Structure 1
Amino acid sequence: MKKMIDYLMENGGEILTKALEHLYISSISLFFGIIVAVPIGIALTRSKPAAKIVMAIASILQTVPSFALLALMIPLFGVGKKPAIVSLFIYSLLPILRNTYLGIAGVDNSLIDAAKGMGMTRAQTLLRVQIPMAMPVIMGGIRLSAVYVLAWTTLAAYVGAGGLGDLIFNGLTNAIMPMVVWGTLPVTILAIIVDFLFGILEDKLSPNKTSEVES
């Protein structure tokens, strides 16, 4: 325990820097995953055959081993943060895409018919009825993807992207256990905090909570 505390006292600044770097890579990857997967997931509800094809492609990409995907990105983007962000972006897609599709497709048809009866256009029905009703399911996919991406970002160290993976792998290579612990512990804490915050956001954006606030 003393070694752990001593390492923290001596290298606290570096741990914080690596944690912020880790969070930056994860956030950028997740952001692009959201802005790409949510619109595609919504669009796929218009065509079931297209949905099957796109979901199959996303599932296949998800099964590619992390190290293999990172290695494939190096000839295209070199080393550093760019190949890591592209790889993590690809991994973030499936949970968001699947949940967006299922959330929008699962909205009760009677609500859609009621919206049409009120004179709403297709765009208005989507924005005012379908997306709000599907939001808990969509947020569930984003929440899951966020935790996955935070964990997978540790592997980004292999392509020189930095982050807490640097501490983990350097610690394992040099048999410095305090370095491994202080690389692993912040990842776990970040994942718990992010999951908790997205859980609150998911709860706030649920239709029942939204209605309570408006009333």
Structure 2
Amino acid sequence: MSAAAVENVEVSGGRRSVPWLLPLVVVALLVGVWAYVNSLHMDSIETRSLAFDVVATAVWKHIELVVASTILTIAIGVPLGVLLTRPGIGRIGAVFLAVANAGQAVPSIGVLVVLAMLFGVGFWMAVVALVAYALLPVLRNTMVGIRQVDAALIDAGRGMGMSGFRVLTTIELPLAVPVMLAGIRVALILNVGAGTLAAYTNAGGLGSIISSGIALDRMPVLIVGSTLTICLALTVDWLAGLAERVLRPRGI
């Protein structure tokens, strides 16, 4: 479920925004898994694996992975997408899109393993793999958003004496913002999900709890790690939806 699917509900005569619905779902999941865990008689292995400091560290490390990889993805994907839409350069855009497609088509665990073999393990190697995996939606949506701007508006700006840079910053980018934000939102969710695999390269995160549950054959540990990942993905999606509303230019 995404924020886009639950943030609006139909009411008589129109649509009413319900920004609090998704947080309620997240809270319900957290309360449910807390009640489930507390209803069990856990052994010493489960108790250690689900200790508060262990879970809190895993959640924080996962957030760091998502934030770092998303910032780098935006820093690379948006400028590159803008560059590939410029006259004379756009012809090679298909090549870059093909490379980005390949990066997303390759399983994320494969990218992590290859990078680990070449450069070792750790936090930043996992970030590089997540950037390679999530670059496509940001790059593609930036290019699509700019290319869909009405050519008449661009010609009008040039007719008013605007430079190419000013046309880009005052006409093309503002009109492309909704599509670009949608790509960034997708990249965020991809990074949350793929970030669980970072545990296999010693980068930590919620994947470490999930992998412990699998390796130790402890279902409560596996359920907690999986539920926290779902809650984090839903929360990120909700926050991204709020950011879209704030950053979307008025009148679009």
In the superposition, the TM-score normalised over structure 1's length comes to 0.91
User: CA deviation digits over 1:1-36, x for unaligned, max 9?
Assistant: 766126689612221111010010111011101000
In structure 2, the residue matched to 1:37 is 77
Whole-angstrom CA distance in 1 between matches of 2:132 and 2:216 = 32
Tell me, yes or no, if structure 1 residue 22 matches structure 2 residue 55.
no
**Structure 1 residues 90-129: aligned runs within 5 Å:** 90-129=132-171
In structure 2, the residue matched to 1:213 is none
Q: For structure 1, which segment, 77-86 or 127-136, has the greater mean C-alpha deviation from structure 2 after superposition? A: 77-86
Whether the aligned pair in 2 keeps the contact of 1:203 and 1:209 (CA below 8 Å) is no
Q: Any gaps of 5 or more consecutive residues in structure 1?
A: 211-215
Whole-angstrom CA distance in 2 between matches of 1:66 and 1:124 = 39
User: CA deviation digits over 1:73-113, x for unaligned, max 9?
Assistant: 01332111121111001011100000000001111111112
Whether the aligned pair in 2 keeps the contact of 1:147 and 1:191 (CA below 8 Å) is yes
Q: Any gaps of 5 or more consecutive residues in structure 2?
A: 1-32, 41-45
Whether the aligned pair in 1 keeps the contact of 2:83 and 2:90 (CA below 8 Å) is no
How large is the Cα RMSD of the aligned pairs? 1.9
Partner residue of 1:53 out of 95, 98, 116: 95
What letter matches 1:13 in structure 2?
D
Whole-angstrom CA distance in 2 between matches of 1:85 and 1:40 = 19
Whole-angstrom CA distance in 2 between matches of 1:77 and 1:29 = 17
1:160 Cα offset (Å): 0.6
User: CA deviation digits over 1:159-203, x for unaligned, max 9?
Assistant: 111000000011111111121112111111111111111112112
1:209 Cα offset (Å): 5.2
Whole-angstrom CA distance in 2 between matches of 1:125 and 1:55 = 24
In structure 1, the residue matched to 2:228 is 186
Q: For structure 1, which segment, 14-23 or 113-122, has the greater mean C-alpha deviation from structure 2 after superposition? A: 113-122
User: CA deviation digits over 1:49-71, x for unaligned, max 9?
Assistant: 20111101111121112222111
Whole-angstrom CA distance in 1 between matches of 2:248 and 2:65 = 28
**Structure 1 residues 1-215: aligned runs within 5 Å:** 4-5=37-38, 11-46=51-86, 47-208=89-250
| Structure with the higher fraction of residues in helix conformation | 1
What letter matches 2:83 in structure 1?
A
Whether the aligned pair in 2 keeps the contact of 1:139 and 1:202 (CA below 8 Å) is yes
Whole-angstrom CA distance in 2 between matches of 1:73 and 1:159 = 9
Q: For structure 1, which segment, 174-183 or 27-36, has the greater mean C-alpha deviation from structure 2 after superposition? A: 174-183
**Identity over aligned residues, as a percent?**
37
1:206 Cα offset (Å): 2.1
In the superposition, the TM-score normalised over structure 2's length comes to 0.78
SS at 1:181's partner residue?
helix
What letter matches 1:37 in structure 2?
G
Whether the aligned pair in 1 keeps the contact of 2:66 and 2:191 (CA below 8 Å) is yes
SS at 1:208's partner residue?
coil
